[in-house]
Amino acid sequence: ATFVGLNRIDSLALTDGRPFVSHGPPITSFAPDAVQYLVRGENAKHLKEISGSWRQVIPVAAALQQALPNARCISITSGRWPAEAPAGSLFRELEQLRRLELHGAFFSSNVPVTFWDGLTDARMLQSLVVDHCPTLPTLGTLDPNKLLSLRSVSLRFATMLDDDATWRVLAALPALDELSVKLLS
């Protein structure tokens, strides 16, 4: 296994089912067990940056619901929510998260309404980008009083914009100073 003996990885990228590591110890090829590294959670607490882009192979649900207390940036492009995923959130224990970007992610009908629950502890979140993610649930389940640092929100082509609860949350964000919205056309 590629990750045997690696106690700390700061950045993990999962791409088209062929995960690889960057900004860590030098690895010269794709590591087939990066998803398992995340699933086991033994060292996931050290991850600061997670990025993903997968169209064919879908990570197991446990990988997407891992506790990531030191993650500062999560960026997912073209990912699908696992069919076997129980009601859960996209990661959890995100106390250090500063930026969350979702681009064309989770195009499936089984995304749970609890998807955003992982942001409950994201008091340091400064930027949220949701771009072309029509199946994600409303932001109405979020407590704006817990998102004290959220200054920038960009919502493009998201059906959640049709929901009054999303707009109530956005209006109540105490630090919001930049809102970018592009409606479905």
Using alpha carbons, select from 174, 180, 142 the residue that is nearest to residue 158.
180
Q: How confident is the model at residue 27 (pLDDT cuts 50, 70, 90)?
A: very low
Per-range mean pLDDT, top range of 81-85, 132-136, 168-172, 179-183: 168-172
Phi, psi of 160 (to 5 degrees): -60, -15
| Res 16: pLDDT | 52
| 57 touches 17 (CB < 8 A) | yes
Q: Is the pLDDT of residue 1 over 80?
A: no
pLDDT exceeds cutoff 80 at 12: no
Can you give the pTM of this predicted structure?
0.82
Say if residue 63's pLDDT is above 80.
no
